Amino acid sequence: MCGAMSLLAFVLGFLACLASLPGLLMRMRVRGMVGPDVHKRNRPAVPEMGGIGILVGLAVSMVIVSVLSGEEAPRLLCLLTVVLATGVVGALDGLRPMNPIVKPALTALAGLPILILGLFYADVYVPRPVLPFIGPTHLTRVYPLMIPVAVAVFANAVNMMDSFNGQMAGTSSIVVLVQLASAVVLGRGSAIVMCTGLLGCLLAFFYFNRYPAKTFAGDVGSLSVGAAIGATAIIGRLEVVTLVAFMPQIMNAFYGLATIGRLYERREVARPTRLLEDGRLEATDDPKAPITLARMVLARGPLPERDIVRVFIALQAISGVLALFTLYLVVAAT
């Protein structure tokens, strides 16, 4: 049953995202919802809110699977509510840029459906994460407080890692794959369905977002994908494994915050990279620019955009291997 539902979630998510995007992109072009691809010499105009396709795919997938599998419905619809709420925050930010404190605060509020549904359904979240070496912990009071924070951290960390063509969809797909493998090992049925649904959407979106991008995810897409990964970690009880698989995103966010010293918006700080005449990207020497992961990668010398994304995907894969090793430690501690 779970296997069939997972496959259905994947196929529905993939097809709905794939089918919705061409029409969406055409409408965005007609309405002028495009932005320049600043990492190309000719700065082509690219539709900016293609992430809506991910929301459409996930909504179709989760609603249909919820209807067909009654008992998983609260958890699946909970995930969908969190993702849609974050998507609304992202869409508002895309249309009118928000203050760097308001945006994380609003994405944290998007995590509230998990807490609210947790009041009615006991197993929407379980405040007993299993840690490596330590085993099950009892964080009955702290865990609920951490849920909105976790959703905000995951959503904004993915958002900060959406700079290059195919970067967000490629790296997030690896995180979701690791979550899926962990859910299979730990036998978490609802998490398997959530992961396959999200993976289907991400792979379809990657087709449009890979180099040279036909669309960007925009804040609506990147915040939603981050929130989906965070919500899956909480609802599917995959907290520690997800955290380790997510290390490149955390590193990228941490480097930026540690060098700037506060929450910031990309538009308000010096650019960490610059485009060269030959189309490659180079790290800037500007001491005021944040040390992002991209700037770290480019510190050794310029690279074409496509190669930068390959480095990111390799790093994410290594992080995924560490996450699977952590899963082994978690299983051993249980």
> Which residues lie near other proteins (CB under 8 A)?
131-134, 244, 247-248, 251, 254-255, 258-259, 283, 285, 291, 293, 295-297, 299-301, 303, 307, 310-311, 314-315, 318-319, 322, 326, 329
CB of residue 260 vs other proteins: minimum separation in angstroms? 12
CB of residue 159 vs other proteins: minimum separation in angstroms? 20
Residue whose CB is less far from other proteins, 4 or 299: 299
Long-range contacts from 36-42, C-beta under 8 angstroms, 24+ separation: 37/165, 37/212, 37/213, 37/216, 38/275, 39/163, 39/164, 39/165, 39/275, 39/281, 39/305, 40/212, 40/275, 40/279, 40/305, 41/275, 41/277, 41/279
Candidates 19, 15, 34; CA nearest to 214 is 34
Residue whose CB is less far from other proteins, 167 or 196: 167
Residue whose CB is less far from other proteins, 206 or 254: 254
Residue whose CB is less far from other proteins, 84 or 177: 177
Which runs of E-coded beta strand occur in the chain?
A: 34-36, 45-47, 130-131, 135-136, 273-275, 281-283
- One-letter amino acid of 257: L
Q: How far apart are the first and last CA of the chain?
A: 26
CB of residue 201 vs other proteins: minimum separation in angstroms? 27
Residue whose CB is less far from other proteins, 193 or 283: 283
Residue 116: exposure state from Cβ atoms within 10 A (0-12, 13-18, ≥19): exposed
Per-residue b or e along 182-221, where b marks 16 or more CB atoms closer than 10 Å to that residue's CB: bbbebebbbbbbbbbbbbbbbbbbbebbbbebbbbbbbbb
Please answer whether residues 178 and 320 qualify as being in contact, where contact means their C-beta atoms are separated by less than 8 angstroms: yes
Residue whose CB is less far from other proteins, 68 or 284: 284
CB of residue 44 vs other proteins: minimum separation in angstroms? 26
| Backbone phi and psi for residue 296, each to the nearest 5 degrees, phi listed first | -65, -45
CB of residue 41 vs other proteins: minimum separation in angstroms? 22
Residue whose CB is less far from other proteins, 29 or 310: 310
CB of residue 169 vs other proteins: minimum separation in angstroms? 20
Residue whose CB is less far from other proteins, 6 or 182: 182
Q: How far apart are CA 232 and CA 179, in angstroms?
A: 8
**Sign of CA pseudo-dihedral 117, 123, 128, 129:** negative
Residue whose CB is less far from other proteins, 116 or 321: 321
Q: How far apart are CA 110 and CA 224, in angstroms?
A: 10
CA atoms within a 13 Å half-sphere pointing along the CA-CB vector of 312 = 32
CB of residue 299 vs other proteins: minimum separation in angstroms? 4
CB of residue 45 vs other proteins: minimum separation in angstroms? 31
CB of residue 284 vs other proteins: minimum separation in angstroms? 10
